[in-house]
Amino acid sequence: MDRLTVNARLMIVSDLDHTMVDHHDPENLSLLRFNTLWEANYRSNSLLVFSTGRSPTLYKELRKEKPMLTPDITIMSVVTEITYGNSMEPDNGWVECLNQKWDRNIVLEETSKISELTLQSETEQRPHKVSFYVQKDKAEDITRSVSACLKKRGLDVKIIYSGGMDLDILPQCAGKGQALAYLHDKFKAEGKLPENTLVCGDSGNDADLYTIPDVHGVMVSNAQEELLQWHGIYAKNNPKIIHAKERCAAGIIEAIGHFNLGPCISPRDVTDLSDSKLETFDPAYEVVKFYLFYERWRLAEVENSELYLANLKAVCASSLIMLLQSKSGIFVHPSGIEKHLHECVDSLRTSYGDQKGQPFRVWVDQVLPVLVGSDSWLVKFKKWEQSGGERLCCLTTALLSSKDVTVADGLTWVHVHQTWFKEAGPGGDAQWLF
Ligand code: GLC
Ligand code: MG
Protein backbone atom coordinates (compact mmCIF):
# COMPACT_ATOMS: atom_id res chain seq x y z
CA MET A 1 0.00 0.00 0.00
CA ASP A 2 2.15 2.84 -1.13
CA ARG A 3 -0.47 5.33 -2.27
CA LEU A 4 0.14 7.41 0.85
CA THR A 5 3.62 8.65 1.69
CA VAL A 6 2.63 9.54 5.25
CA ASN A 7 0.31 7.89 7.74
CA ALA A 8 -3.36 7.98 6.91
CA ARG A 9 -5.50 10.45 8.80
CA LEU A 10 -8.29 7.91 9.07
CA MET A 11 -8.57 4.28 8.10
CA ILE A 12 -12.11 2.97 7.83
CA VAL A 13 -12.47 -0.78 7.88
CA SER A 14 -16.04 -1.61 6.99
CA ASP A 15 -18.11 -4.67 6.41
CA LEU A 16 -20.31 -4.41 3.30
CA ASP A 17 -23.67 -6.21 3.53
CA HIS A 18 -25.99 -4.38 5.94
CA THR A 19 -23.13 -2.11 7.07
CA MET A 20 -21.75 -0.02 4.19
CA VAL A 21 -24.53 -1.30 1.91
CA ASP A 22 -28.16 -1.08 2.99
CA HIS A 23 -30.14 -3.74 1.16
CA HIS A 24 -33.38 -2.12 2.40
CA ASP A 25 -32.61 1.22 0.78
CA PRO A 26 -33.34 0.92 -2.94
CA GLU A 27 -32.20 4.52 -3.46
CA ASN A 28 -28.85 3.87 -1.74
CA LEU A 29 -29.06 7.26 -0.13
CA SER A 30 -26.88 6.65 2.90
CA LEU A 31 -24.21 4.97 0.78
CA LEU A 32 -24.20 7.93 -1.64
CA ARG A 33 -23.99 10.34 1.30
CA PHE A 34 -20.97 8.44 2.64
CA ASN A 35 -19.34 8.37 -0.80
CA THR A 36 -19.62 12.12 -1.18
CA LEU A 37 -18.21 12.75 2.28
CA TRP A 38 -15.32 10.37 1.68
CA GLU A 39 -14.37 11.78 -1.72
CA ALA A 40 -14.67 15.41 -0.66
CA ASN A 41 -12.83 15.12 2.64
CA TYR A 42 -10.90 11.90 3.07
CA ARG A 43 -9.87 10.18 -0.13
CA SER A 44 -6.55 11.90 -0.63
CA ASN A 45 -5.20 11.37 2.90
CA SER A 46 -7.08 8.38 4.27
CA LEU A 47 -7.61 4.69 3.61
CA LEU A 48 -10.81 2.85 2.82
CA VAL A 49 -10.83 -0.86 3.54
CA PHE A 50 -13.75 -3.16 2.74
CA SER A 51 -13.86 -6.34 4.76
CA THR A 52 -16.52 -8.76 3.58
CA GLY A 53 -17.59 -12.35 3.97
CA ARG A 54 -18.26 -12.43 0.22
CA SER A 55 -15.99 -14.28 -2.15
CA PRO A 56 -14.42 -12.29 -5.02
CA THR A 57 -17.30 -13.48 -7.28
CA LEU A 58 -20.08 -12.19 -5.02
CA TYR A 59 -18.10 -9.05 -4.16
CA LYS A 60 -17.92 -8.16 -7.85
CA GLU A 61 -21.66 -8.76 -8.19
CA LEU A 62 -22.36 -6.38 -5.34
CA ARG A 63 -20.20 -3.71 -6.95
CA LYS A 64 -22.34 -3.94 -10.08
CA GLU A 65 -25.56 -3.61 -8.09
CA LYS A 66 -24.65 -0.79 -5.73
CA PRO A 67 -22.94 2.60 -6.11
CA MET A 68 -19.86 1.58 -4.15
CA LEU A 69 -16.54 3.38 -4.02
CA THR A 70 -13.28 1.62 -4.88
CA PRO A 71 -11.47 0.71 -1.67
CA ASP A 72 -7.70 0.89 -1.15
CA ILE A 73 -7.67 -2.58 0.38
CA THR A 74 -10.23 -5.33 -0.21
CA ILE A 75 -10.52 -8.14 2.28
CA MET A 76 -12.80 -10.93 1.06
CA SER A 77 -14.08 -14.35 2.06
CA VAL A 78 -14.06 -13.37 5.76
CA VAL A 79 -10.49 -12.21 5.40
CA THR A 80 -9.06 -15.29 3.87
CA GLU A 81 -8.16 -13.06 0.88
CA ILE A 82 -6.48 -9.65 1.30
CA THR A 83 -5.83 -7.62 -1.85
CA TYR A 84 -4.42 -4.16 -2.57
CA GLY A 85 -5.32 -1.36 -4.94
CA ASN A 86 -7.35 -1.30 -8.15
CA SER A 87 -5.53 -4.31 -9.54
CA MET A 88 -6.36 -6.28 -6.38
CA GLU A 89 -2.84 -7.63 -5.80
CA PRO A 90 -3.05 -10.51 -3.31
CA ASP A 91 -1.09 -10.50 -0.05
CA ASN A 92 0.94 -13.68 -0.12
CA GLY A 93 2.33 -13.30 3.41
CA TRP A 94 -1.18 -13.63 4.72
CA VAL A 95 -1.74 -16.92 2.90
CA GLU A 96 1.24 -18.51 4.73
CA CYS A 97 -0.36 -17.69 8.04
CA LEU A 98 -3.66 -19.25 6.92
CA ASN A 99 -2.04 -22.56 6.01
CA GLN A 100 -1.14 -23.33 9.61
CA LYS A 101 -3.05 -26.30 11.04
CA TRP A 102 -5.54 -26.14 8.19
CA ASP A 103 -6.66 -28.90 5.87
CA ARG A 104 -9.73 -28.19 3.81
CA ASN A 105 -10.30 -31.85 2.92
CA ILE A 106 -10.51 -32.88 6.56
CA VAL A 107 -13.02 -30.09 7.20
CA LEU A 108 -15.17 -31.30 4.29
CA GLU A 109 -14.89 -34.92 5.38
CA GLU A 110 -15.95 -34.27 8.97
CA THR A 111 -18.74 -31.83 8.19
CA SER A 112 -20.27 -34.11 5.55
CA LYS A 113 -21.32 -36.34 8.47
CA ILE A 114 -23.61 -33.63 9.88
CA SER A 115 -26.98 -33.51 8.13
CA GLU A 116 -28.03 -30.11 9.55
CA LEU A 117 -25.21 -28.40 7.65
CA THR A 118 -26.09 -27.31 4.12
CA LEU A 119 -23.16 -26.23 1.96
CA GLN A 120 -23.37 -22.70 0.51
CA SER A 121 -22.84 -22.18 -3.22
CA GLU A 122 -19.61 -23.26 -4.90
CA THR A 123 -18.42 -19.64 -5.34
CA GLU A 124 -18.39 -19.17 -1.55
CA GLN A 125 -16.17 -22.19 -0.90
CA ARG A 126 -12.61 -20.91 -0.91
CA PRO A 127 -9.19 -22.46 -0.21
CA HIS A 128 -9.34 -21.24 3.40
CA LYS A 129 -13.09 -21.01 3.96
CA VAL A 130 -15.77 -23.69 4.05
CA SER A 131 -19.24 -22.20 4.45
CA PHE A 132 -22.65 -23.62 5.32
CA TYR A 133 -26.18 -22.56 6.15
CA VAL A 134 -27.49 -23.72 9.48
CA GLN A 135 -30.66 -23.02 11.45
CA LYS A 136 -30.31 -20.56 14.31
CA ASP A 137 -31.35 -22.99 17.05
CA LYS A 138 -28.83 -25.61 15.94
CA ALA A 139 -25.85 -23.29 15.48
CA GLU A 140 -24.39 -23.43 18.97
CA ASP A 141 -24.43 -27.23 19.37
CA ILE A 142 -23.05 -27.81 15.91
CA THR A 143 -20.27 -25.29 16.43
CA ARG A 144 -19.24 -27.07 19.61
CA SER A 145 -19.22 -30.55 18.14
CA VAL A 146 -17.50 -29.61 14.85
CA SER A 147 -14.89 -27.74 16.80
CA ALA A 148 -14.13 -30.71 19.04
CA CYS A 149 -13.92 -33.20 16.23
CA LEU A 150 -11.64 -31.07 14.04
CA LYS A 151 -9.37 -30.54 17.03
CA LYS A 152 -9.08 -34.30 17.39
CA ARG A 153 -7.99 -34.46 13.76
CA GLY A 154 -5.17 -32.02 14.47
CA LEU A 155 -6.67 -28.84 12.99
CA ASP A 156 -6.98 -25.45 14.64
CA VAL A 157 -10.07 -23.78 13.20
CA LYS A 158 -12.32 -20.85 13.88
CA ILE A 159 -16.06 -21.26 13.48
CA ILE A 160 -18.12 -18.12 13.01
CA TYR A 161 -21.90 -17.81 12.94
CA SER A 162 -23.25 -14.71 11.15
CA GLY A 163 -26.49 -13.15 10.07
CA GLY A 164 -28.53 -15.80 11.88
CA MET A 165 -27.81 -18.36 9.13
CA ASP A 166 -24.20 -18.50 7.85
CA LEU A 167 -21.62 -20.75 9.41
CA ASP A 168 -18.02 -20.32 8.27
CA ILE A 169 -15.17 -22.65 9.12
CA LEU A 170 -11.81 -20.91 8.75
CA PRO A 171 -8.18 -21.34 9.84
CA GLN A 172 -7.66 -20.07 13.40
CA CYS A 173 -5.61 -17.10 12.28
CA ALA A 174 -8.37 -15.91 9.91
CA GLY A 175 -10.89 -13.41 11.21
CA LYS A 176 -11.56 -9.78 10.44
CA GLY A 177 -9.77 -8.70 13.62
CA GLN A 178 -6.60 -10.64 12.89
CA ALA A 179 -6.48 -9.26 9.37
CA LEU A 180 -6.74 -5.74 10.75
CA ALA A 181 -4.00 -6.46 13.30
CA TYR A 182 -1.88 -7.83 10.44
CA LEU A 183 -2.44 -4.62 8.43
CA HIS A 184 -1.70 -2.44 11.45
CA ASP A 185 1.59 -4.31 11.97
CA LYS A 186 2.47 -3.84 8.32
CA PHE A 187 1.77 -0.09 8.49
CA LYS A 188 3.68 0.21 11.77
CA ALA A 189 6.74 -1.41 10.19
CA GLU A 190 6.63 1.24 7.48
CA GLY A 191 6.10 4.01 10.06
CA LYS A 192 2.65 4.67 8.62
CA LEU A 193 0.20 3.56 11.28
CA PRO A 194 -3.07 5.46 10.60
CA GLU A 195 -3.80 8.25 13.07
CA ASN A 196 -7.23 6.76 13.67
CA THR A 197 -8.99 3.57 12.70
CA LEU A 198 -12.76 3.17 12.66
CA VAL A 199 -14.20 -0.32 12.30
CA CYS A 200 -17.80 -0.81 11.19
CA GLY A 201 -19.97 -3.89 11.22
CA ASP A 202 -23.36 -5.49 11.78
CA SER A 203 -22.94 -9.21 12.36
CA GLY A 204 -21.05 -12.07 14.01
CA ASN A 205 -18.10 -12.18 11.65
CA ASP A 206 -17.41 -8.49 12.44
CA ALA A 207 -17.09 -8.99 16.21
CA ASP A 208 -13.36 -9.47 16.41
CA LEU A 209 -12.75 -6.21 14.51
CA TYR A 210 -13.70 -4.43 17.73
CA THR A 211 -11.09 -6.29 19.78
CA ILE A 212 -8.09 -4.61 18.15
CA PRO A 213 -6.44 -2.16 20.56
CA ASP A 214 -7.02 1.56 20.03
CA VAL A 215 -9.60 1.29 17.28
CA HIS A 216 -12.91 3.11 17.35
CA GLY A 217 -15.87 0.94 16.49
CA VAL A 218 -19.44 1.33 15.34
CA MET A 219 -22.14 -1.30 15.29
CA VAL A 220 -24.74 0.12 12.93
CA SER A 221 -28.27 0.54 14.33
CA ASN A 222 -29.50 -2.49 12.40
CA ALA A 223 -26.78 -4.79 13.85
CA GLN A 224 -27.69 -8.45 14.30
CA GLU A 225 -28.56 -9.95 17.63
CA GLU A 226 -25.40 -12.09 17.70
CA LEU A 227 -23.13 -9.01 17.47
CA LEU A 228 -25.07 -7.07 20.10
CA GLN A 229 -24.93 -10.10 22.40
CA TRP A 230 -21.19 -10.39 21.88
CA HIS A 231 -20.83 -6.68 22.69
CA GLY A 232 -22.95 -7.11 25.84
CA ILE A 233 -20.62 -9.83 27.10
CA TYR A 234 -17.17 -8.66 26.01
CA ALA A 235 -17.15 -4.96 25.26
CA LYS A 236 -20.01 -3.28 27.09
CA ASN A 237 -17.83 -0.83 28.98
CA ASN A 238 -15.61 0.18 26.10
CA PRO A 239 -16.41 3.85 25.31
CA LYS A 240 -14.69 3.48 21.95
CA ILE A 241 -17.49 1.28 20.63
CA ILE A 242 -20.94 2.66 19.90
CA HIS A 243 -24.21 1.23 18.74
CA ALA A 244 -25.28 3.86 16.21
CA LYS A 245 -28.75 5.32 16.00
CA GLU A 246 -28.57 5.31 12.22
CA ARG A 247 -28.64 2.42 9.81
CA CYS A 248 -25.71 1.27 7.67
CA ALA A 249 -23.51 3.96 6.05
CA ALA A 250 -25.43 6.69 7.89
CA GLY A 251 -24.30 5.00 11.12
CA ILE A 252 -20.70 5.20 9.90
CA ILE A 253 -21.07 8.95 9.29
CA GLU A 254 -22.64 9.25 12.75
CA ALA A 255 -19.62 7.50 14.30
CA ILE A 256 -17.14 9.80 12.50
CA GLY A 257 -18.94 12.70 14.17
CA HIS A 258 -19.33 10.99 17.55
CA PHE A 259 -15.63 10.20 17.85
CA ASN A 260 -14.54 13.49 16.29
CA LEU A 261 -12.53 11.77 13.60
CA GLY A 262 -12.88 14.56 11.04
CA PRO A 263 -15.55 16.25 8.89
CA CYS A 264 -18.90 14.50 9.23
CA ILE A 265 -21.25 16.52 7.05
CA SER A 266 -21.72 15.01 3.66
CA PRO A 267 -21.94 17.59 0.85
CA ARG A 268 -25.11 15.68 -0.14
CA ASP A 269 -26.71 17.02 3.03
CA VAL A 270 -25.92 20.61 2.11
CA THR A 271 -28.68 22.15 0.04
CA ASP A 272 -26.98 25.30 -1.09
CA LEU A 273 -23.45 24.29 -2.03
CA SER A 274 -22.55 27.77 -3.19
CA ASP A 275 -22.95 28.80 0.43
CA SER A 276 -20.28 26.57 1.87
CA LYS A 277 -17.30 28.54 3.03
CA LEU A 278 -13.92 27.08 2.21
CA GLU A 279 -10.72 28.36 3.79
CA THR A 280 -8.35 27.15 1.10
CA PHE A 281 -8.63 25.93 -2.47
CA ASP A 282 -9.89 22.38 -2.44
CA PRO A 283 -9.85 20.59 -5.82
CA ALA A 284 -11.48 17.37 -4.56
CA TYR A 285 -14.35 19.29 -3.02
CA GLU A 286 -14.71 21.29 -6.25
CA VAL A 287 -15.17 18.09 -8.27
CA VAL A 288 -17.63 16.59 -5.78
CA LYS A 289 -19.62 19.83 -5.70
CA PHE A 290 -19.73 20.16 -9.47
CA TYR A 291 -21.15 16.66 -10.02
CA LEU A 292 -23.59 17.01 -7.17
CA PHE A 293 -24.92 20.15 -8.83
CA TYR A 294 -25.06 18.31 -12.15
CA GLU A 295 -27.15 15.52 -10.59
CA ARG A 296 -29.48 18.00 -8.90
CA TRP A 297 -29.84 20.01 -12.11
CA ARG A 298 -30.96 16.98 -14.11
CA LEU A 299 -33.29 15.89 -11.33
CA ALA A 300 -34.68 19.45 -11.10
CA GLU A 301 -33.70 19.53 -7.45
CA VAL A 302 -32.19 22.99 -7.84
CA GLU A 303 -33.90 26.00 -9.28
CA ASN A 304 -33.86 26.37 -13.06
CA SER A 305 -31.86 29.55 -12.92
CA GLU A 306 -29.66 31.21 -15.53
CA LEU A 307 -27.55 32.39 -12.63
CA TYR A 308 -26.30 28.86 -11.99
CA LEU A 309 -25.27 28.47 -15.61
CA ALA A 310 -23.56 31.85 -15.59
CA ASN A 311 -21.65 30.83 -12.45
CA LEU A 312 -20.62 27.59 -14.09
CA LYS A 313 -19.41 29.47 -17.14
CA ALA A 314 -17.44 31.76 -14.89
CA VAL A 315 -15.52 28.81 -13.44
CA CYS A 316 -15.02 27.26 -16.87
CA ALA A 317 -12.93 30.05 -18.34
CA SER A 318 -9.24 30.05 -17.68
CA SER A 319 -8.96 33.83 -17.37
CA LEU A 320 -11.11 36.91 -17.12
CA ILE A 321 -10.06 37.92 -20.63
CA MET A 322 -11.21 34.57 -21.97
CA LEU A 323 -14.50 34.95 -20.17
CA LEU A 324 -15.03 38.40 -21.68
CA GLN A 325 -14.32 36.95 -25.10
CA SER A 326 -16.69 34.04 -24.37
CA LYS A 327 -13.87 31.55 -24.72
CA SER A 328 -13.31 28.71 -22.39
CA GLY A 329 -11.31 25.61 -21.67
CA ILE A 330 -11.64 22.40 -23.63
CA PHE A 331 -13.66 19.31 -22.88
CA VAL A 332 -12.62 16.11 -24.59
CA HIS A 333 -15.79 14.02 -24.65
CA PRO A 334 -15.31 10.23 -24.27
CA SER A 335 -16.46 9.78 -27.88
CA GLY A 336 -13.36 11.72 -28.94
CA ILE A 337 -15.19 14.93 -29.84
CA GLU A 338 -13.69 18.17 -28.60
CA LYS A 339 -15.88 20.98 -27.30
CA HIS A 340 -15.54 24.21 -25.41
CA LEU A 341 -16.54 23.87 -21.78
CA HIS A 342 -18.96 26.77 -22.32
CA GLU A 343 -20.78 24.80 -25.02
CA CYS A 344 -21.19 21.97 -22.54
CA VAL A 345 -22.64 24.34 -19.98
CA ASP A 346 -25.04 25.63 -22.65
CA SER A 347 -26.15 22.12 -23.44
CA LEU A 348 -27.12 21.70 -19.79
CA ARG A 349 -29.90 24.26 -20.35
CA THR A 350 -32.07 21.78 -22.25
CA SER A 351 -31.37 18.91 -19.90
CA TYR A 352 -32.78 20.64 -16.84
CA GLY A 353 -35.06 18.17 -15.06
CA ASP A 354 -34.77 15.56 -17.82
CA GLN A 355 -34.24 12.86 -15.16
CA LYS A 356 -36.89 14.12 -12.77
CA GLY A 357 -38.61 11.29 -10.95
CA GLN A 358 -36.11 8.78 -12.37
CA PRO A 359 -33.63 6.71 -10.38
CA PHE A 360 -30.84 8.94 -11.70
CA ARG A 361 -27.60 9.16 -9.70
CA VAL A 362 -24.15 10.58 -10.24
CA TRP A 363 -21.15 9.84 -8.04
CA VAL A 364 -17.41 10.29 -8.22
CA ASP A 365 -14.88 7.73 -7.07
CA GLN A 366 -11.15 7.94 -6.29
CA VAL A 367 -10.92 11.69 -6.65
CA LEU A 368 -7.18 12.23 -6.42
CA PRO A 369 -5.76 15.71 -7.04
CA VAL A 370 -2.05 16.21 -7.73
CA LEU A 371 -0.47 19.64 -7.56
CA VAL A 372 1.21 20.19 -10.94
CA GLY A 373 2.38 23.76 -10.65
CA SER A 374 2.20 26.60 -8.19
CA ASP A 375 -1.48 27.15 -8.97
CA SER A 376 -2.80 24.08 -10.84
CA TRP A 377 -4.05 20.66 -9.96
CA LEU A 378 -4.58 17.65 -12.13
CA VAL A 379 -7.52 15.81 -10.64
CA LYS A 380 -8.09 12.23 -11.67
CA PHE A 381 -11.34 10.45 -10.83
CA LYS A 382 -14.00 8.05 -12.02
CA LYS A 383 -17.29 9.68 -12.82
CA TRP A 384 -20.24 7.31 -12.57
CA GLU A 385 -23.73 7.94 -13.85
CA GLN A 386 -26.67 5.65 -13.32
CA SER A 387 -29.86 6.19 -15.21
CA GLY A 388 -32.50 3.54 -14.78
CA GLY A 389 -30.85 0.17 -15.27
CA GLU A 390 -27.86 1.54 -17.19
CA ARG A 391 -24.66 2.53 -15.48
CA LEU A 392 -21.76 4.26 -17.21
CA CYS A 393 -18.37 5.39 -16.04
CA CYS A 394 -15.64 7.61 -17.40
CA LEU A 395 -12.08 7.91 -16.23
CA THR A 396 -11.77 11.65 -16.01
CA THR A 397 -8.89 14.07 -15.67
CA ALA A 398 -9.55 17.71 -15.00
CA LEU A 399 -7.04 20.52 -14.87
CA LEU A 400 -8.12 23.03 -12.26
CA SER A 401 -6.41 26.35 -11.64
CA SER A 402 -6.38 28.91 -8.85
CA LYS A 403 -4.76 31.58 -11.07
CA ASP A 404 -6.45 34.99 -10.77
CA VAL A 405 -9.32 33.72 -8.64
CA THR A 406 -10.18 33.85 -4.96
CA VAL A 407 -11.18 30.91 -2.79
CA ALA A 408 -14.74 32.24 -2.82
CA ASP A 409 -14.81 32.26 -6.66
CA GLY A 410 -13.80 28.62 -6.74
CA LEU A 411 -11.18 26.96 -8.91
CA THR A 412 -11.25 27.38 -12.67
CA TRP A 413 -11.85 24.33 -14.86
CA VAL A 414 -9.23 24.68 -17.57
CA HIS A 415 -9.40 21.32 -19.30
CA VAL A 416 -11.44 18.13 -18.88
CA HIS A 417 -10.71 14.83 -20.59
CA GLN A 418 -12.84 11.69 -20.35
CA THR A 419 -12.37 8.10 -21.50
CA TRP A 420 -14.89 5.29 -21.11
CA PHE A 421 -13.95 3.04 -18.21
CA LYS A 422 -13.24 -0.45 -19.54
CA GLU A 423 -15.92 -2.20 -17.49
CA ALA A 424 -18.60 0.43 -17.88
CA GLY A 425 -18.60 2.02 -21.31
CA PRO A 426 -21.79 2.30 -23.40
CA GLY A 427 -23.13 -0.56 -25.50
CA GLY A 428 -24.44 1.80 -28.19
CA ASP A 429 -24.85 5.56 -28.42
CA ALA A 430 -25.06 7.02 -24.97
CA GLN A 431 -26.26 10.40 -23.90
CA TRP A 432 -23.35 11.68 -21.81
CA LEU A 433 -23.03 15.35 -21.04
CA PHE A 434 -20.16 15.79 -18.60
C1 GLC B 1 -21.08 -13.75 3.05
C2 GLC B 1 -20.48 -14.93 2.31
C3 GLC B 1 -20.82 -16.22 3.01
C4 GLC B 1 -20.47 -16.15 4.48
C5 GLC B 1 -21.12 -14.95 5.12
C6 GLC B 1 -20.75 -14.75 6.57
O7 GLC B 1 -22.46 -13.76 2.94
O8 GLC B 1 -20.97 -14.95 0.99
O9 GLC B 1 -20.12 -17.29 2.42
O10 GLC B 1 -20.88 -17.31 5.13
O11 GLC B 1 -20.72 -13.78 4.42
O12 GLC B 1 -19.38 -14.62 6.76
MG1 MG C 1 -22.70 -7.65 7.27
**pLDDT tens column, 228-256:** 999 999 988 999 999 999 999 999 999 99
How many residues in total does the chain contain? 434
Instruction: Extract the runs of DSSP E, i.e. beta strands, from 173-240.
Output: 196-201, 216-219
For residue 247, the CA-to-ligand 2 centroid distance in Å is 12
Contact 75, 81 (CB under 8 A): yes
Ligand nearest to C-alpha 160: 1
pLDDT band at residue 83 using 50, 70 and 90 as cut-offs: very high
For residue 168, the CA-to-ligand 1 centroid distance in Å is 7
pLDDT of 426 higher than 80:
no
Q: Is the CB of 120 under 6 A from ligand 1?
A: yes
Phi and psi for 230 in degrees, rounded to 5?
-55, -45
Distance, in Å, from the CA atom of 338 to the CA atom of 332, rounded to the nearest integer, reads 5
Exposure letters 392-423 (e unless 16+ CB within 10 A, then b)? bbbbbebbbbbeebeeeebbbbbbbbbebbee
Distance, in Å, from the CA atom of 217 to the CA atom of 238, rounded to the nearest integer, reads 10
Q: Is the CB of 166 under 6 A from ligand 1?
A: yes
Specify the residue with its C-alpha closest to ligand 1, atom 12.
53
**Closest by alpha carbon to 322, among 250, 403, 410, 261?**
403
**pLDDT tens column, 363-414:** 999 999 999 989 999 999 999 999 988 899 999 999 999 988 888 888 999 9
Mean pLDDT of the chain: 92
Q: Is the CB of 76 under 6 A from ligand 1?
A: no
Exposure letters 329-343 (e unless 16+ CB within 10 A, then b)? bebbbbeeeeebbbe
The per-residue pLDDT for 388 is: 81
Specify the residue with its C-alpha closest to ligand 1, atom 10.
166
**pLDDT tens column, 193-220:** 999 999 999 999 899 999 999 999 999 9
For residue 124, the CA-to-ligand 1 centroid distance in Å is 7
Taking the complete model, does pTM exceed 0.85, yes or no?
Answer: yes
Q: Is the CB of 287 under 6 A from ligand 1?
A: no
**pLDDT tens column, 15-36:** 999 999 999 999 999 999 999 9
With the most atoms of ligand 1 within 8 angstroms of its CB, the residue from 17, 19, 54, 122 to mutate is: 54
**pLDDT tens column, 168-199:** 999 998 889 999 999 999 999 999 999 999 99
CA atoms within 13 A on the CB side of 154: 6
* DSSP-derived 3-state class of residue 149: helix
The per-residue pLDDT for 112 is: 94
**pLDDT tens column, 275-329:** 667 788 999 999 999 999 999 999 999 999 999 999 898 888 766 666 666 667 8
With the most atoms of ligand 1 within 8 angstroms of its CB, the residue from 15, 78, 119, 167 to mutate is: 78
